[in-house]
Amino acid sequence: MVNTTAATSQPNASAEGPPADSQDFWNETVQESKAPVYDWTPEIQGILLSSLSYGSFLAPIPTGYVAGVFGAKYVVGAGLLISSVLTLFTPLAADTGVALLIGLRVIQGIAQVMVLTGQYSIWVKWAPPLERSQLTTIAGSGAMLGTFLVLIAGGLLCQNLGWPYIFYIFAIDPGHPFRISRGHSGEVLRLLVLAISHLQSGILSALPFVFGCVCIILGGLLADFLLSRKILRLVTIRKLFTAIGVLVSSGILVPLHWVRSSRSATMAFLVLSSVFCSLCDSGALINFLDIAPRYAGFLKGLLQVFSYIAGGIAPTVAGFFIGQDPELGWRNVFFLAAAIDVVGLLFYLVFGQAEVQNWAKEQTRL
């Protein structure tokens, strides 16, 4: 657990400090805590959050290739085993020092890349084209459902036994589900701005995931329905679902700074963001299966390289903004996230395709 009210150096901090009841709340929480408390600055917290991505910049590409050559089940199984074992040692690493914890999370991130990248080599062979969206989204929804269950139980464990037991019992990292998406993982980070108990934090953090889980499945079913009935072309479906998911979720991010005083409004916005963002799982996030099924593992790995670069930079940048100005830092984070989303969407709408590319077709000799 991190002391979020510890004094930090803030040269450009707002004159308005945290409310007095927030400090009182934290003091009560520390007294009730059954686990160590760490005085990590926002910058250090940002580095710790992003360290899961540091070692993953180059790992996805060879992982996708190895999965295609030797079989995805071995790659996925090894990744799950390594990640789970390392998670068991997370509390010990946190007690030892920040450097060891960062190193552990770097290796853990590489192991989780093996799981994420390898599974798509399986779907290329198992999922028929007209059922591809619903099958991949049903599988992907399991990650969100698992995160929902872990966060619910994690709140209880943290409040009654202490936060290390979350890692001992589950041996997973709830802050890093099996797909990289701001809409999937950002809710936990954004709840740091609320002064709530561990149990409440677990419940509230889980809400966006359970709604997102349902909407991922519904989005996949709807996408395949539109395709099988020939209502829309495949490329139109991919771009439409991506546009709706990105634009609505980005639009919801912008006013989050102004509704932070209302817990119910904040949660409503986060849930809606997760609901609409989940539509991207039937859009751009599986588009590589359409354009190059032969190289699905490799392309997913290449996609993950850019995703992990963003995942490594984002928490560090957020920690910097918040460390400079706790009052306006979150506003800047939300604005920046929305702007990046829209720019990425425009690029995809212009250049995105859905037919198998010539370079991905198998060459046959007559």
101 closest CA partner among 45, 37, 157: 45
Domain boundaries, given as residue ranges, for the chain: 40-356
Please give the residue that has the higher pLDDT: either 210 or 183: 210
Out of 57-61, 125-129, 155-159, 290-294, the most confident range is 290-294
Task: Please say if the pLDDT value at position 312 is more than 80.
Answer: no
Q: Is 240 in contact with 232 (CB distance < 8 Å)?
A: yes
pTM: 0.69
b/e string for 191-225 if b means 16 or more Cβ within 10 A? beebbbebbebbbbbbbbbbbbbebbbbbbbbbbe
Task: Please say if the pLDDT value at position 190 is more than 50.
Answer: no
Task: Please say if the pLDDT value at position 121 is more than 50.
Answer: yes
Confidence of residue 24 (pLDDT cuts 50, 70, 90): low
What pLDDT is recorded for position 119?
76
CATH of domain 40-356: 1.20.1250.20
Confidence of residue 229 (pLDDT cuts 50, 70, 90): very high
Residue written as token pair 């408390």: 37
What pLDDT is recorded for position 184?
43
Give the model confidence (pLDDT) of 241-261 as tens digits. Answer: 999 999 999 998 888 878 877
Q: Which residues contact 364 (CB under 8 A, 6 or more apart)?
A: none
